[in-house]
Structure 1
Amino acid sequence: MRFLLDEHLPTGLATLISELGSDALHVKTEGLLSASDGDLWTLAAKLDATVVSKDSDFLAMAQRDGRRAGLVHLNLGNISNRELYMAVRASWPQVMEKLLSGEPVVELRP
């Protein structure tokens, strides 16, 4: 499964997701920092990628779109990168299970 990470997330998170066994791209390393949320959503669809973001604007896009696996929403508040990496690492097996079972939106909460 492929993931496209939003600009508000650290690039190291893409590395972590790759280490966990998935293909992960970050908008910064793809040269897309100035792209709008809508453009990123469209690109993710073209790449057959699931968006990973803390931005709640993507929730509305995911609900309208209906793609099988559209969004991993990191609803974790303001936490350090270390805490973010720990939360993602701990919950990633469940995230993948939900996405693979067809849930279009998976939300991580504290």
Structure 2
Amino acid sequence: MRIVIDQQLPPVLATWLRLQGLDATHVRDLGLRDRPDHDIWREALRDGSVVLSRDADFANFARQDAKGRLVWLRIGNCSNAILIQTFERHWPAILARIKGGERLIEVRA
């Protein structure tokens, strides 16, 4: 399973997820840095990736597309350290839900 990290989130999150043994890539590393959301969504659909974003546009895509998968972060702006702490706390449950087949996972801190 590959996880695509949206532009609104820092590349350090992809690094943290890779340290957890996951295939995580930030959109800038995919050459999609300033591309429209629908281009990022299509790239994720192409290979079955999970998108990780704060953007409500992706939630709309996930609701309309039975093949897409999204982890939708509903947290405000925060430091990278706080973001990583939030993931450390929530990631086991998020991963279980992804593996359980959930397509739209909303995370509130």
SS at match of 1:28: helix
Q: Aligned residue for 2:12?
A: 12
Higher helix share: 2
Q: Aligned residue for 1:100?
A: 99
Letter in 2 for 1:83: I
Q: What's the offset of the Cα at 1:77? A: 1.0
Q: What's the offset of the Cα at 1:47? A: 2.2
> Whole-Å Cα distance in 2 between the matches of residues 75 and 18 of structure 1?
22
SS at match of 2:50: strand
Runs of 5+ unmatched residues, structure 2: none
Letter in 1 for 2:108: R
Letter in 2 for 1:37: D
Paired residue total: 109
> Whole-Å Cα distance in 2 between the matches of residues 61 and 9 of structure 1?
18
Normalising by structure 1, we get a TM-score of 0.94
Q: Which runs of 4+ in 1 moved over 3 A?
A: none
> Whole-Å Cα distance in 2 between the matches of residues 72 and 98 of structure 1?
10
Deviation per residue, 1:7-64 (Å, 9 max, x gap): 1110010011111121001111222112110010000011210000011110000000
> Whole-Å Cα distance in 2 between the matches of residues 80 and 64 of structure 1?
32
Q: Aligned residue for 2:65?
A: 65
Matches within 5 A, 1:37-48: 37-48=37-48
Identity of aligned residues (%): 37
Letter in 2 for 1:23: D
Q: Aligned residue for 1:23?
A: 23
SS at match of 1:73: strand
> Whole-Å Cα distance in 2 between the matches of residues 99 and 46 of structure 1?
18
